[in-house]
Structure 1
Amino acid sequence: MEVLKKFKPFNAEFPLERQLGISAAPIVLINIFTVGSPDDEAGFLEAFISAGKTLTKQPGFISTQLHRAIGDSPIFLNYVVWESTETLREAFSLPEFVAKVSAYPPSVSATPHLFQKFAVPGLCTA
């Protein structure tokens, strides 16, 4: 999958490509973006919005939220809910999406990982 070459693994022993091969539903994609140069923040946001608009139109997309680190930290966290790994895999395969991710400025790195809700008795439900 071409788009996966643009991402750094959060866990090198279990990269996103391997995670996408597991059938799971629903899933949460957490993507940590690091903007290496303050001059690239506007370009990052422009490319993020463009790529995001493509994904929000895809089957299986549920919701997304971008967070910015406080202070001068150049870190952004994107939280995206998908119906399944299959729907995310299809969306990531779209040539239009791949082209838009390629527009991230060179100093931007993306580190994605997939998660599912996990029940902890007395604290949270799955």
Structure 2
Amino acid sequence: MIEFVEADETTPYTQQLKERTGQVVLVNTFTVPKGRTEEFLALWREDAAYFTRQPGFVSTQMHRGIAGSRILVNVAVWQSAAHLAAAHDNLEVRPGGSGYPRGCTVSPHLYEKVAVDGICGD
């Protein structure tokens, strides 16, 4: 079973899912035990396939740390926090969940784009 670790204890993920927002970016940071990355990715692929079929899903991309890092980061875009929350409501129908290698952790957190004049558009 994967262990859930809050990315920001002052703003729990479940609280973020209740926000009324426009488009959000889910940054989901995973720590995977050494030698278990391929096993983890196979299970994550099944979970990701579930989420990509849900209303409001826009895109996803997994990133792997380099130089022997055990960290993987999934960056997913959703039309709103409400869409992502609704996808979580049906978790009993998704395939992964409890099958992840022992010692895996997950730290999800939601973000909105920020316009920074002259650097980042809105």
TM-score range with shorter-chain normalisation?
over 0.9
Aligned with 1:60 (options 56, 59, 75)? 56
**Secondary structure, in 3 states, of the residue corresponding to 2:75?**
strand
Are 1:110 and 2:114 an aligned pair?
no
Counterpart in the other structure of 2:66: 70
Letter in 1 for 2:58: I
Alpha-carbon distance, 1:74 to partner? 0.4
Equivalent in the alignment of 2:80: 84
**Which 10-residue stretch deviates more, 13-22 or 100-109?**
100-109
SS at match of 1:58: coil
Normalization by structure 1: what TM-score? 0.90
2:25 and 2:76 in contact (8 A); partners too: yes
Answering whether residue 31 of structure 2 is matched by residue 34 of structure 1, we say yes
Shift of 1:81: 0.2
State the partner residue of 1:45.
41
Q: What's the CA shift for 1:83?
A: 0.4
1:20 is matched with which residue?
17
- RMSD of aligned C-alpha atoms? 1.4
Determine the C-alpha separation between the residues in 2 that align with 1:9 and 1:45: 21
Identical-pair percentage: 35
TM-score (norm 2): 0.92
The structural deviation recorded for 1:6 is 4.7
CA shift for structure 1 position 75: 0.4
**Alignment gaps of 5+ in structure 1:** none
Question: Would the aligned equivalents of 1:6 and 1:102 in 2 still touch at CA under 8 Å?
Answer: no
Higher percent of residues as helix = 1
Conservation of the 8 A alpha-carbon contact between 2:3 and 2:104 = no
